Amino acid sequence: MRIPHTIARTGAVAAALSALLVGGTVSATTADAVVGSVCYSALPSQAHDTLDLIDRGGPFPYSQDGSVFQNRESVLPRQSSGYYHEYTVITPGSSTRGARRIVTGQEYEEDYYTSDHYATFRLVDFDC
């Protein structure tokens, strides 16, 4: 079951920070490929809407929403097929799905935001 994004998440971010604080290393399953993070409050309002829809289980505006994200770009940490799922973040004025997405990971219930169609990702930080 997915933890609602309004509750502070511990998962990948906490594991990575704990490892770094005690002089350890961050494993490939936590955050090694993540470019950075973004505060939930800094996301566009449409991303908030998408995260709310994910928490509620839909309904989603596009048939592709919820489909498996293959991570072909290998920007996110490597995981088995089916680990990641993608959701559209509506772009006002766009006649297509646009380039913005939320990609979710199942084990740590992490949420990643991309505004440039998978070229870069930011782990969503719900604590700021």
CATH code, domain with 64: 3.10.450.30
User: Where does 1-128 have alpha helices with state H?
Assistant: 11-21, 45-56
Beta bridge partners of 112: 103, 123
Active-site hit among 86, 107, 109, 110: 86
Whether 34 is covered by a domain: the verdict is yes
Whether 21 is covered by a domain: the verdict is yes
Report the sign of the C-alpha dihedral through residues 110, 38, 125, 26, in that order. positive
**Is residue 114 domain-resident?**
yes
Residue 42 lies in a domain: yes
Is 24 a domain residue?
yes
Q: Is 86 among the catalytic positions?
A: yes
pLDDT for the residue 34: 52
Flag whether 63 is in a domain: yes
Q: Of 73, 107, 110, 117, which residue is the catalytic one? A: 117
Active site residue 73: no
Find the domain containing 111 and state its range: 11-125
Question: In the chain, which residues have pLDDT < 70?
Answer: 1-35
Q: Give me the pLDDT at residue 11, please.
A: 41
Residue 4 lies in a domain: no
Q: What is the structure's pLDDT at 12?
A: 42
Task: Indicate whether 20 belongs to any domain.
Answer: yes
The total of structural domains in the chain comes to 1
Composition of the chain by helix, strand, coil, percent to 5: 20, 20, 60
